[in-house]
Copies of this chain bind each other. A is one copy, B any other.
Amino acid sequence: MRTIEWKNNKIKIIDQTKLPGKLEYLYIKDLETLWHAIRELKVRGAPALGAAAALGIYLGVKDTDKKNFKDFAALIDKTAKYIASSRPTARNLFWGIERMASVAVRNKEKPMSAIKKLMFREAEIIIEEDREACRKIGDFGSVLLKSGDSVLTVCNAGILATIDYGTALGVIYRAHEKGKKIKVFACETRPLLQGARLTTWELKKKGIDVTLICDNMAASLMREGKIDKVITGADRIASNGDSANKIGTYGLAILAKYHKIPFYVAAPMSTFDTEISTGKDIPIEQRPREEVTELFFKKPIAARGVKVYNPAFDVTPHELITAIITEKGIINP
């Protein structure tokens, strides 16, 4: 099962808004559909967005008949800006775009057809690198888990957030493969319930013991001594280790510290933004109010017209993070 891949000249993704009800694939052949798929979280998760961006750039240029590099580069730029406008927080989205653009620039003397081929190859490499990075993250991270551990996670940093293995959940999959007994508690992750819809779905599929909780139940579990470790993914990590991730992560980090529970972030190096020194500079996406006031845009659950605060992410300062698990090893901030 792959979250995202290139198939028959189209981007093939699992439509994650259909889960856990249906495993349905979406074939994307134009940029607008891709933009909406990203915006509406049909494909989501920072590493998967890196791949989506890379394939998207290729999708944007593959059929052009531009004859000179200046025009070709302008098209890349336009495509890049468009894709980048879909979601502002995930570093990997911009990283994917930048890698694709720089392949073109490095090969600008070559014919357009050759550049296109190299760009396609780069997207393939990005995808392969993600698969490998997740497995290495799993390797490094699994050492931190011992058999019998209960791990709390938030949102979905698994197969569905990457190509096919996961970051935070990759650590759990690897520990499980090594024969360690791991129990997972999944925060449902309001408002869009990625934890309930996606994380419980893929963990069950993988045969991992998973229990679903509402986000506000985490503290209670910790107090009862039922959580040994917290592992989350990240959408962007500043140079000092401050990590933006799904809204609620910061709160979990404080709760973990209070209960003296290690709090780990698992993410590939592509999530680091070295141009940003602290979390204060990470842009936080504000999402539509209806995500909060209407469950799946169907039934109103709040007083009509009530004001809503709906940031998609928060920033966890490095002092609350025990370690960051990457494909290069474990970093203690």
Which residues of A line the B interface, CB within 8 A?
20-21, 154, 185, 187-191, 193, 196-197, 200-201, 203-204, 209-221, 223, 247-248, 250-251, 254-255, 257-258, 292-293, 295-296, 298-311, 314-315
Kindly provide the distance from the CB of A160 to the nearest chain B CB, expressed in whole angstroms.
12
Complex Cα gap A209–B191 (Å):
22
Complex Cα gap A188–B315 (Å):
21
Does the CB pair A302–B213 fall under 8 Å? no
Q: Does more than half of chain A's interface fall in helix, strand or loop, or is it mixed?
A: mixed
Assuming the contacts A20-B300, A191-B214, asked whether A219 and B306 have C-beta atoms less than 8 A apart, the reply is: no
Complex Cα gap A250–B295 (Å):
26
Q: How many copies of this chain?
A: 2
* 7 closest Cβ pairs, A-B complex: A216-B248, A219-B251, A190-B214, A215-B216, A200-B303, A220-B314, A211-B307
Residue A210 contacts which of B210, B248, B300, B306 (CB distance < 8 angstroms)? B306
**Chain B contacts of A301 at CB under 8 A?**
20, 188, 193, 196-197
Kindly provide the distance from the CB of A205 to the nearest chain B CB, expressed in whole angstroms.
8
Residue A217 contacts which of B196, B248, B304 (CB distance < 8 angstroms)? B248
Complex Cα gap A310–B189 (Å):
15
Complex Cα gap A292–B190 (Å):
12
Q: Which residue of B lies closest to A313 (CB)?
A: B220
Complex Cα gap A216–B232 (Å):
14
Q: Which residue of B lies closest to A307 (CB)?
A: B211
**Chain B contacts of A193 at CB under 8 A?**
301-302
Residue A212 contacts which of B210, B258, B293, B298 (CB distance < 8 angstroms)? B293
Residue A302 contacts which of B20, B220, B221, B250 (CB distance < 8 angstroms)? B20
Assuming the contacts A190-B214, A216-B190, asked whether A306 and B247 have C-beta atoms less than 8 A apart, the reply is: no
Residue A247 contacts which of B220, B250, B258 (CB distance < 8 angstroms)? B220
Does the CB pair B251–A212 fall under 8 Å? no
Q: What are 18 A-B pairs at a CB distance below 8 A?
A: A20-B303, A20-B304, A188-B292, A196-B301, A201-B303, A204-B305, A211-B307, A214-B247, A214-B248, A214-B292, A216-B248, A217-B247, A217-B310, A217-B314, A219-B314, A220-B314, A254-B258, A257-B258
